[in-house]
Amino acid sequence: MQSARMTEKTWEHLCTIRSNGAVFHHSTSHLDRPCLSLYEPIARPNGSFVMAQVGQSLDGRIATPTGDAQDVSGCDGIAHLHRCRALVDAVIVGVGTIVADNPSLSVRAVNGQSPVRVVVDCNGRIPSDAKMLHDGGTPVLVIQADDISRSPISCDVIRLPRRGEGLHPQDILDALSNRSLTSVLVEGGARTIARFLDADLVDRLHVSVAPIIIGSGPMGISLAPVDRLADARRPNVTVYDIGTDIVFDCDFNTAAEVLEASQEGQHILMPNPA
């Protein structure tokens, strides 16, 4: 596990990369190495980049059964989430999160630019008085199915065709890319993240674990069941101690290579505990 402690200079460096695409420093030796390896892939995406982030308890919960999700992450977990927001073009949430939390999705815990806010709202459930529609912050895009009547909301609405059980995440990414929004953070909730993971569209997943046990309540990630552990996803994971929380940085692109190699018998996926 690497200890990542953000310094002012390291964050400045990452924000410069994010705005310029490159940075011409004589040396980066004075910067925090673990922070660079955790955040540089987000700040310097190569074309389209999709990350997801879940802030959860030790027992994998993201809220209480009544929906209280305010303080699951510790203060460093919250700063981490806000850094991720500041490094992407757009942050995506499902309408369930708007209804439950009424978030603003802005960058407040660190210095940085707030991303465009995107709500996936297939059936037009977003409340017209949702905070983000009236707070004068960065633009809000609501994505709805093209077969429902137009919602009376004061923001841009993108209308996409239904495919299967809803909107296909690739169609969502294409619509955002047409607006030059190519690096995105899928922030939740579980159902929205699951759609992107199931479509194999997530490059990085950050699971930020706080030392709290909630006991019951919604889980952060909820995918279709698998019968055998051999069918479970095995991303390449690097673990960071960020202070109050631990971040598991899951790289799904590298995992594909490991899986390929294992098919040739070069890797053992699951050691036998016996």
Residues touching ligand NAP: how many (CB under 6 A)? 29
Dist CA 51 CA 64 (whole Å): 25
Residue closest to 32 by CA, chosen among 183, 240, 209: 240
Site for ligand NAP in 114-143 (CB under 6 A): 120, 122-123, 125
Residue 72 binds ligand NAP, judged by CB under 6 A: yes
Which residues does residue 247 pair with via DSSP β-bridges, in sequence order?
208, 240
Q: How far is the CB of 183 from ligand NAP (least distance, A)?
A: 19
Site for ligand NAP in 171-190 (CB under 6 A): 187-190
Interface segment toward ligand NAP; rule CB under 6 A; list 1-9, 32-40, 55-63, 256-264: 55-63
- The 3-state DSSP class for residue 254 equals helix
Cβ(181)–Cβ(90) below 8 Å: yes
Main-chain dihedrals φ then ψ at residue 196, nearest 5 degrees: -70, -40
Residue 60 binds ligand NAP, judged by CB under 6 A: no
Q: How far is the CB of 45 from ligand NAP (least distance, A)?
A: 21
Residue 34 binds ligand NAP, judged by CB under 6 A: no
Residue 77 binds ligand NAP, judged by CB under 6 A: no
Residue closest to 117 by CA, chosen among 85, 83, 153, 141: 141
The count of other CB atoms within 10 Å of the CB of residue 186 is 30
112 Cβ contact list (under 8 Å, min separation 6): 11, 15, 82, 83, 85, 86, 87
Dist CA 254 CA 274 (whole Å): 29
Q: Name the residue nearer to ligand NAP (CB basis): 166 or 243.
A: 166
Which residue from 97, 106, 144, 183 is in contact with ligand NAP, where contact means CB under 6 A?
97
What is the token pair recorded at 44? 């310097």
Q: Name the residue nearer to ligand NAP (CB basis): 63 or 86.
A: 63
Interface segment toward ligand NAP; rule CB under 6 A; list 16-24, 44-52, 88-96, 105-113: 88-96
Pairing status of strand 156-160 against strand 204-209? unpaired
Residue 210 binds ligand NAP, judged by CB under 6 A: no
Q: Name the residue nearer to ligand NAP (CB basis): 89 or 101.
A: 101
Q: CA distances (Å), 220 to each of 59, 97, 198, 234, in order?
A: 10, 12, 14, 17
Dist CA 253 CA 247 (whole Å): 18
Q: How far is the CB of 251 from ligand NAP (least distance, A)?
A: 19
Q: Name the residue nearer to ligand NAP (CB basis): 67 or 137.
A: 67
Residue 3 binds ligand NAP, judged by CB under 6 A: no
Q: Name the residue nearer to ligand NAP (CB basis): 13 or 85.
A: 85
Cβ(33)–Cβ(3) below 8 Å: no
Positions that interact with ligand NAP (CB under 6 A)? 54-55, 62-63, 67, 69, 72, 93-97, 100-101, 120, 122-123, 125, 166-167, 169, 187-192, 195, 218
